[in-house]
Structure 1
Amino acid sequence: MTERLGPEEIARAAALLRAGALVAFPTETVYGLGADACNGRAVAAVFEAKGRPRFNPLICHYASADAAFADVRPDARARALAAAFWPGPLSLVLPRRAGCRVDLLASAGLDTLAVRVPAHPLALDLLRRVDRPVAAPSANRSGRVSPTTAQDVLEELGGRIAAVLDGGPCPVGLESTVLDLSGRGVVLLRPGGVPPEAIEAVIGPVGRDRPSGSAAEAATPRSPGLLASHYAPSLPLRLNATSVAPDEALLAFGRPLPGAGLVWSLSESGDLREAAARLFAGLRWLDTEGARRGLRRIAAMPVPAHGLGLAINDRLARAAAPRPDAARP
């Protein structure tokens, strides 16, 4: 059985992590599935619990920038970004130090490591108590919709992990932005909670032309969330819908289209921050309720491709991509 721990039981959560068990915990983005990143067996258990491809690296979470930079080699750009956005929803891919404590499995054997300092107070308290890096991908089965509540975690991983630390709904509701700083250039690997425009205001131009889901990227991705088919509901997802049928569920942005069999509104006012926070919850609800009602697919209305809209569209494109296992109806 998976324990559901309240904030007052945080010492129990920390003890489980230090003992090598898996504990899901809230961050400002989504719930992470935590494991002691220095413990190879614990990291392997993450892949097992999620059914995650082993070539897809994990992000390691730290209580402070100093702690993170003890395991990777930051440059001036990394330090400037950490000062501007940590704690917060930004992950940096940097070269591993020679004495890096993190097990190589967590970085899929690469010479780089993705690190971040989350902004959720409960997550920071937990990381301080564990006093070591915690590898924490989203706490869902691989390829499924990311969880933004403790109940989501239990529905995905109940019985597969030791505990979930319940800190309520995640305020951002969208994964962290991931930047590759391991080379001379700066490459946006995954849009997320920090818009590219905010990053460019700190360090200048950011490359955004890496082909998402390319063959080379799929073979050796440098960051989580780079598989072409990801964040996928079980019902097929149709993008950029301008009309909707009665046997479709609608993921609406702005004024909902008429005629859908089921509707979830990301934001009737067109607020991208509200839409980001409601995205995964909406996909999860439309998938479950739509299947229960016998609907055949989900239709998603267009979302503007700027600011947080870039990250929302990235998630929707991955959710709509063909599944490699052909498991979707």
Structure 2
Amino acid sequence: MYDTVQQAYDTLDHPEADGEAVRAALDDTDVAVEVTTITSDEGATDFVKITIPGRDPTAPTLGVIGRLGGIGARPEEVGMVSDGDGAIVALSSALQLAKMHDRGDVLPGDVHIATHVCPDAPTSPHDPVPFMGSPVDMETMNRHEVDDRMDAVLSVDATKGNRVHCERGFAITPTVKEGWVLKPSSSLLDAQERVTGRPPSTLTLTTQDITPYGNGVHHINSILQPSTATDAPVVGVATTSVNPVSGSGTGANYYPELAEATGFVVETAKDFTRGRASFYDDEEFSHLQSLYGSMTHLQAKGNGR
């Protein structure tokens, strides 16, 4: 995993990094790469979609979203920023899965990986440390990264700018589906234990965190924003730190944790597409809905907006 993380980091840690650089990194593999450039008044970014094909069209399909504002904050900061973790893990997972595919370890189901590449994203105020901004809004990100073909989604995001989770490593969130925060998936906790060799680590969520950006409430970050745009279950994969680290901070992409998070994504892809892992209990979810009704209003900005 260190080799793929290093390759992903080297591809993205460049002032002219873009979607075509990601495509070039995967040129020698049997995967499809789609690049779309989106421009706004705040700048431009390249959305990248990577598909690792499975061998069984009826098998479950996993989605992996590398969530971030940008991989760099140039000219304010020089080099890769902490916020780039999501893109690094997304690309290193794609490189590893593509390598496996080319060697003959083809998973049953497809894996769709999406992220965006912006080396000069803006920053914005946030407590306790500044947020990385983005040239595009959250609705645009969700539109280009969340895919209806994803039966379940892992959303990878640097989650270091807080005092909620104060340990270095990576944590996974409870499953979020249609406005419900469900219990953490036992099979994903198993995969996390297997990859790290340690007890599982989970990230605390609040109701605010699973509502859409733009509604005027505090969010820990954008890790669960994909859940506002899909009916599929979403689990966040958060790279974390002991002390708060700004998303625009440089020198804060921790290789051991990036390698472990990549390993977790790959193991989840193996287990989920083979039907060995589930993100939630369907019967319990149906029972919750029968008792308390729909929570899909939490996927909207509120008050009919």
Provide TM-score, normalisation by structure 1. 0.29
Which one has a bigger Cα radius of gyration? 1
Higher relative contact order (CA 8 A, sep 6+): 2
